[in-house]
Amino acid sequence: MAKVVLAFSGGLDTSFCAVWLREELGAEVVTVTVDTGGFPAAEAKAIADRAAEVGSARHIHVDGRRRVLDGFISWLIRGNCLRGGVYPIAVGAERVAQAEAVVGAARDAGAGAVAHGSTGAGNDGIRFDTAFRALAPDLAIHAPVRTLALSREAEAKWLATRGIHIPAKTSRYSVNEGLWGVTIGGGETHDSWAEVPEDVYRLTRRVAGLPPEEVILSFEQGLPVALDGRRLDGLALIDELNRRAGAQGIGRGVHVGDTILGLKGRIAFEAPAAVVLVAAHRELEKLVLTGRQLSVKGPLGDLYGSLLHEGLWFDPVMRDIEALLERSQERVTGDVRVRLSEGAFAVAGARSAQSLLGGGGAAYGERGAGWSGAEAAGFARIHGLAAALAAERDRR
């Protein structure tokens, strides 16, 4: 019997795949769940129970949080990466780690194929296929949901005829929870005017009357290392910041953008720690990097996030961008003060021993200790020379 290793979330799509691969292909299915967000032990057990229910020959649980943090999120912070200026690329940061774990399990099991539960209309199928082909071009790839083009309702009914019942809420929404945030698709997200209901959100709550609070985030060479003066491991820091900012309702948003296929897509998301950390990091960079450093780094950070989102992490250009991002962060060390308050946050201040503010005895708009008034006038005259010449030509 042929072995197939399936990336398994325990949701509707991957549950359907497990049963279909076993019944239609006669495959021995090994399911692999990669924890990319620290879900509780009860949820891990529920997924393992679902794997058994759908006939998995063996279920493997992999803790992939450290790989996601060090291999992907760390670069998204350095690059200030927000898709469309709002979305923290929560899902794209996870798929490579999941694909790596699935291929590793396939090698260990001697499997000849890997599988995923993605549709043909979204980004994840392309992400998984691209990663699988880069990591293991010899393995076949199965994607039953994409091949059959079934609706989620049809999948749920097909499983129900076999005595497997997926909760209605799960079949209405596709919810991906990971270390860098929660992404919500389906339901109201298909209507550009509609709003996702409150009970779908997991990390954030709309609670009126909470007093504002401030947090101090400390960075070393571009990465967060402490919260309110307490040094924390990156995983613990993100968890605590998610809790504190999420309690204030911070981090919710809706993103409309272009998918890899060129379709317009709309998702809701919540990412309290991600949005706060990126904003704080960007403010610290403004303090310690030169204007030209920022102007070069900004577009490259955007490109890095875009390529990761589109499943192109294995392209060599990503290593080139990482080299520049790493070099740019050598002096990005300091503290950032952030105020959290009922659904909103604001960067209140930043400090660093590497600060360029007030350097050379100058203060913007007040004094320039390093040059005379005549020198300033001469600079202004030369600086505007090209514009003055063009204006003179136009008058002629």
Model confidence pLDDT, tens digit, residues 11-36: 899 999 999 999 999 999 999 999 99
DSSP state of 276: H
Let me know whether 196 and 113 are in one domain.
Answer: no
Of 176, 204, 223, the position where a domain reaches its end is 176
Distances in whole angstroms, Cα of residue 357 to Cα of each of 221, 223, 342, 347, 354: 18, 21, 31, 17, 9
Burial of residue 268 (CB within 10 Å: 0-12, 13-18, 19+) is buried
Contact 89, 305 (CB under 8 A): yes
- Position 356 in a domain: no
Indicate whether 105 and 59 sit together in one domain. Answer: yes
Q: Give how many domains the chain has, as a whole number.
A: 3
Q: What is the pLDDT of residue 42?
A: 92
28 falls within a domain: yes
pLDDT along the chain (396 residues), means of 10: 92 95 97 90 94 97 96 98 95 94 97 95 93 98 95 92 82 85 92 92 85 96 98 97 95 94 93 98 98 98 97 97 98 98 95 88 61 90 95 95
Q: Are 101 and 116 in contact (CB under 8 A)?
A: no
Residues 311 and 183 in one domain: yes
Indicate if 242 and 109 belong to the same structural domain.
no
Verify that 194 and 339 share a domain, yes or no.
yes
Asked if residue 251 and residue 277 are part of one domain, the reply reads yes
Helix axes 291-309, 272-288, angle to 10 degrees: 150
Question: Which three-class secondary structure state does DSSP give residue 231?
Answer: strand
Asked whether 337 and 349 are in contact (CB, 8 A), the reply is: yes
CA separation for the pair 353, 219 (Å, rounded): 12
Cβ(113)–Cβ(143) below 8 Å? no
Q: Which of 145, 176, 207 is the last residue of a domain?
A: 176
Locus of tokens 């947090």: 215
163 and 125 fall within a common domain: yes
Q: What is the C-alpha to C-alpha distance for residues 222 and 200, in angstroms, rounded to an integer?
A: 33
pLDDT digits (tens, 9 = 90+) for 147-182: 999 888 899 999 999 999 987 566 678 788 999 999
- The enclosing domain of 192 has a CATH number of 3.90.1260.10
How much of the chain is in helix, strand and coil states, percent to nearest 5?
Answer: 45, 20, 30
pLDDT of residue 266: 94
- Domain membership flag for residue 358: no
Distance, first Cα to last Cα, the chain: 85
List the one residue out of 253, 263, 276, 254 whose CA is nearest residue 341: 276
- Tell me: do 69 and 170 sit in the same domain: yes
Show the domain range for 85.
3-176
pTM, entire model = 0.92
